Structure 1
Amino acid sequence: MSQYLPVGNTLKSAWIRDRQDLDNHRTTETLPERCDVVIIGAGYAGAATAYHLVKDCPNISSIAVLEARETCSGATGRNGGHLRPDLYGHIPTYVDRYGVKLATEIAEFEIANMWAIKDTIEQEKIDCDLVLQRSIDVWCNEDAANKASETYQKMRAYNLSYMKDVFFTRDPKTAEGYSGVKGAKAAASFTAGSMWPAKFIQGLLRICLASGNVNLQTNTPVMQIEEDSGQGHKIHTTRGIILASRVIHATNGYVSSLLPQYQRNIIPCKGICCEIAVPTGSESPAPLLNNTYIIRDEERVLSYLIPRTNGSIIVGGGAAKFAPFREQWYRNVDDSILIDAAKDFYAGFMQRTYRDWERSTACITDIWTGVMGYSFDSHPHIGTVPGHKGQFINAGFNGHGMPLIWLGSKGLARLVSADFKGEQISFGESGIPLIFEATQARIDRANNNKEEDGDILGNGQIFLPKSTNPTLVVDLQKSVTPYAQAS
């Protein structure tokens, strides 16, 4: 068993500081003796998978969701609330690796996630402060702005339909005027969203519980999974054993605690995030901010930002400030301790970054850290765990899970349901980009290469992608997912 288990006495984020009714929920006083499916993890991936099993898979009638701590107390309850597809950030890298068609498939899958989440929130009437607006990218470094311009022109040249939604300017005066960011050298924008992620997850789980098919058990760490050909799987927890036919690992950065083969494939890394607000009673209100942001300052330090409907700001990132201090964040799952090298970076951030904020009294009201799962090749692992029949994985989202997990979980539910019925469907039929499939080749690639050659991407921007290993690109042309629309 790995050392990567959640710790206690964690720092609370702004999203989870106020208690919610499912935080410490236990549907039954004791664990169920057996069920069709056990889902380990009650964050975004676990809740979304449970929801899709309930809605789309009537052949599965008993699901247990086990959470080591409180509901949504992990990365989902600590992120930036940014529902932002990647249209051109990492996509050029994927074009170089896999070609335009497959890279576009990833981008359009993320866009489809955003709209599918919006539809679900509206249909289910989940109160989670979902707002769609423009997301503005800003570059304040001259060389970075030039590179951004080259990337934009490159992406436009592919004649991708989704690029019609992108605005870009390389004129510094226009960039600063449009974004409001001091010293902006280039700016771009496209449609994205923001939400209260913990409320979204609680809303999904309420729907699951109301179905009568789901049993949620919080504060129940899973310590071991014993495979038994006669009974399926014995899930050993601190509170007893559950027998289950199928097991879904939805623990992201903690996944190697139960699946040690992923120790070099999905690496836990801490990030930093905070809430900034004007103190109550202040005579200097904060200027209105209507857009979400990704800002790369003059020193190329990346920050992501969303405005909340209550007037506060959520901002995080700053990885370049703490990247050299690896022991504080790399393979570190202690979210009870801030990353010391960056804890002061966001003090005065709004005043020094945005025009018209200089006189604002806005200050940090909450600051926290969270554990993300960064995969070696920068893509999530979704599907059957190689070599473990009846076990599935939904993890490794690289700090970018918000626009990936929803439809990824829907596809995984389809795979689990088919397996439960004894049917075989291809991964491509799941609707998930084939590059995300959990395979032994991906595990081997990480195990056979130096750890520092991995691609830790996402909002952290800690490492840039390195050379492509051709063995990663296996049977990619068999992908039949419907999201690639490059002409």
Structure 2
Amino acid sequence: MASSTETRKPFPQPAAGYTQSFWRTELDPLDNHRSTPDLPIEADILIIGSGYAGASTAYHLFPENQQGTPPKVVLLEARELCSGATGRNGGHLRPDLYSATKIYTERYGLDAAVEVVRFEIAHMKTLEKLVQKEKIDCDLTFTRSLDIYLDVDQLAAAKSFYDYLVDQGLDFMDDVQYLSQEDAQGKAKVRNAQGGFSFSAGHLWPYKLICRLIRIAVSRGLNLQTNTMVTEIGQDRTPEGLWPVTTNRGVIHARKIILATNAFTGALAPEYSKAIVPCKGLCTHIEPAPGAPYQELPETYAIRQGLGAFIYQISRKDGSIIVGGAQYTYKDIPDQWHNNPDDGTLINSVEHYFDGYMQRTFFGWEDSNATVKHIWTGVMGYSADSLPHIGDIPGKPGQFIAAGFNGHGMPVVFLCGKAIAQMAQHSVPFQKTGLPRLFETSAARLDPVYNDTVG
């Protein structure tokens, strides 16, 4: 999680103040935790990154009622716990039932695309059971998601593929409802809406989920070391089969390494520099004025202004809104976001975009006096082919990766972390993990055919 893919300098610490994520306003006691005062000398398994992928992997490496001696697992985080993209996202638990499915179908065939859809749907029930079992207070809420189109041509194209999926007899399409223009404006309350779709989704407080998973793992033996920036992984193993890992606090040797580094993977594994690119995005927390009237919006939203123009949104139970995206306002200024790992500054072109956003977008918010209370940036790991990289790092025995989630990690990462834990701890082959075949990292994918990061 440490550096720019080109300069390989230590990743800069985040700026204080206006880039503070809303999700990090209630900090966990483990936020700056170190299980031991000194950096351990060795580890059986070393996890780099304490976001969703790192937390899920750690949790699954320390199962309840584990038999035998647990492995010596160390988790390194460059900054505070869950201070990267997971602690800065939109909190949206939203499987993609038809949008990205179109791209995957065109490139890899319907069967492979459907595997991804079913995998994302599985996360809904899996997370519900997890939160109940571990009594995790993370505001997990299940609702419907409204995918609203403001552009007639884009809606027509989406409707055509929706009809195709329905004609295939896919059971999960029973949950997808088409919304007419009347529905989209009347029920979804979106001005200028031309139509859209509705399907099951959810949202949560991501930082609280991750901290709870880490806390459980720490209680079972995980050694957590925050504020420990990895600057280099050695190219060769020692005669004992250990990988040397250099940090700002010294060197630790690990038998196995898991890169849960998402956007910053290329800094430590340069072979991924083309495959996973750090891309900066912006998110906000908006509140109506105390006592002011506003229309309740219990659903989550994706509002599509046109091709590539996407804004996501969730409503919290206190009436506030988390809303972000609007990449189309700065897409043509790549230095502000593309291959840009700096989450300590805002994006100039979109800094004031969400001022008055609720009032101009939704019926019933005209007199809400809603204002932006928090605004922050985060750095996502966009993969060149829009698919995560999961599995054995090519040519590096004992090194694994779970990264490149394209800003769509919430309905994907938890079970990816489970799979990586199985691969690292028990040598389970990728094909036996239950992951979609398209997620497997490979040498071929490191030289991408596509370049979706700029599209």
Which TM bucket (shorter chain)?
A: over 0.9
Partner of 1:165: 175
Aligned residues: 443
1:154-197 CA distances to partner (integer Å, 9 max, x unpaired)? Answer: 1111111101111112x312221121101111121111110000
Rounded Cα–Cα distance in structure 2 between residues aligned with 1:155 and 1:287: 33
Residue 321 (1) aligns with residue 329 (2): yes
Residue 389 (1) aligns with residue 389 (2): no
- 2:213 alignment partner, one of 192, 204, 207: 204
Aligned residue identity for 1:193: G
Would you say the 8 A contact 1:75–1:370 is kept in 2? yes
- 2:188 alignment partner, one of 150, 173, 179: 179
Rounded Cα–Cα distance in structure 1 between residues aligned with 2:226 and 2:307: 43
Report how far residue 232 of structure 1 moved.
1.0
- 1:63 alignment partner, one of 53, 73, 89: 73
Partner of 2:338: 330
Aligned residue identity for 2:52: Y
Report how far residue 278 of structure 1 moved.
2.1
Report how far residue 298 of structure 1 moved.
6.0
- 1:309 alignment partner, one of 298, 317, 327: 317
Residue 131 (1) aligns with residue 141 (2): yes
Partner of 2:297: 289
- SS of the counterpart of 1:179? coil
Report how far residue 364 of structure 1 moved.
0.4
Residue 154 (1) aligns with residue 164 (2): yes
- 2:11 alignment partner, one of 6, 30, 45: 6
Residue 30 (1) aligns with residue 38 (2): yes
1:415-438 CA distances to partner (integer Å, 9 max, x unpaired)? Answer: 11223xxxxx43110111111111
- 1:17 alignment partner, one of 22, 25, 29: 25
- 2:452 alignment partner, one of 445, 450, 455: 455
Would you say the 8 A contact 1:140–1:300 is kept in 2? no
Report how far residue 231 of structure 1 moved.
4.2
Partner of 2:442: 439
Residue 370 (1) aligns with residue 384 (2): no
Partner of 1:478: none
Would you say the 8 A contact 1:267–1:373 is kept in 2? yes
Would you say the 8 A contact 1:247–1:392 is kept in 2? yes
Relative distance call for 1:332 and 1:298 in structure 2 (3 A) is: closer
| Structure 1 portions without partners, runs of 5+ | 420-424, 457-461, 464-487
- 2:364 alignment partner, one of 356, 359, 365: 356
1:48-77 CA distances to partner (integer Å, 9 max, x unpaired)? Answer: 011111118756421100000000000000
Rounded Cα–Cα distance in structure 1 between residues aligned with 2:382 and 2:306: 26
Partner of 1:469: none
Would you say the 8 A contact 1:231–1:243 is kept in 2? no
Rounded Cα–Cα distance in structure 2 between residues aligned with 1:115 and 1:6: 36
Relative distance call for 1:432 and 1:60 in structure 2 (3 A) is: farther
Rounded Cα–Cα distance in structure 1 between residues aligned with 2:149 and 2:354: 18
Aligned residue identity for 2:172: Y
1:5-39 CA distances to partner (integer Å, 9 max, x unpaired)? Answer: 53213321100133321110111111122121110
Partner of 1:480: none
Residue 222 (1) aligns with residue 230 (2): yes
- SS of the counterpart of 1:15? helix
Would you say the 8 A contact 1:92–1:155 is kept in 2? no
- 2:347 alignment partner, one of 339, 342, 347: 339
Partner of 2:115: 105
Report how far residue 288 of structure 1 moved.
1.4
Rounded Cα–Cα distance in structure 2 between residues aligned with 1:195 and 1:136: 17
Rounded Cα–Cα distance in structure 2 between residues aligned with 1:55 and 1:339: 41
Partner of 2:430: 427
Would you say the 8 A contact 1:60–1:417 is kept in 2? no
Report how far residue 441 of structure 1 moved.
1.1
Superposition RMSD in Å: 1.6
Relative distance call for 1:30 and 1:390 in structure 2 (3 A) is: same
Would you say the 8 A contact 2:295–2:363 is kept in 1? no
Would you say the 8 A contact 1:274–1:364 is kept in 2? yes
| Structure 2 portions without partners, runs of 5+ | none
Relative distance call for 1:310 and 1:7 in structure 2 (3 A) is: farther
Aligned residue identity for 1:249: L
Rounded Cα–Cα distance in structure 2 between residues aligned with 1:13 and 1:6: 18
TM-score normalised by the chain length of structure 1: 0.88
Aligned residue identity for 1:175: A
Rounded Cα–Cα distance in structure 2 between residues aligned with 1:344 and 1:330: 20
Report how far residue 96 of structure 1 moved.
1.6
Relative distance call for 1:125 and 1:158 in structure 2 (3 A) is: same
Rounded Cα–Cα distance in structure 1 between residues aligned with 2:211 and 2:291: 36
Would you say the 8 A contact 1:114–1:403 is kept in 2? yes
Rounded Cα–Cα distance in structure 1 between residues aligned with 2:277 and 2:202: 27
Would you say the 8 A contact 2:293–2:365 is kept in 1? no
- SS of the counterpart of 2:263? helix
Would you say the 8 A contact 1:261–1:443 is kept in 2? yes
Rounded Cα–Cα distance in structure 1 between residues aligned with 2:37 and 2:343: 28
Report how far residue 299 of structure 1 moved.
7.9
Report how far residue 285 of structure 1 moved.
3.9
Aligned-pair identity (%): 43
Matches within 5 A, 1:71-82: 71-82=81-92
Rounded Cα–Cα distance in structure 1 between residues aligned with 2:208 and 2:335: 32
Would you say the 8 A contact 1:6–1:69 is kept in 2? no
Would you say the 8 A contact 1:380–1:394 is kept in 2? yes
Partner of 2:47: 39
Would you say the 8 A contact 1:83–1:194 is kept in 2? yes
Aligned residue identity for 2:434: G
Aligned residue identity for 1:308: R
1:212-232 CA distances to partner (integer Å, 9 max, x unpaired)? Answer: x20000000011122224241
Report how far residue 310 of structure 1 moved.
2.3
Would you say the 8 A contact 1:141–1:300 is kept in 2? no
Partner of 1:468: none
TM-score normalised by the chain length of structure 2: 0.94
- SS of the counterpart of 2:452? coil
Aligned residue identity for 2:274: R
- SS of the counterpart of 2:244? strand
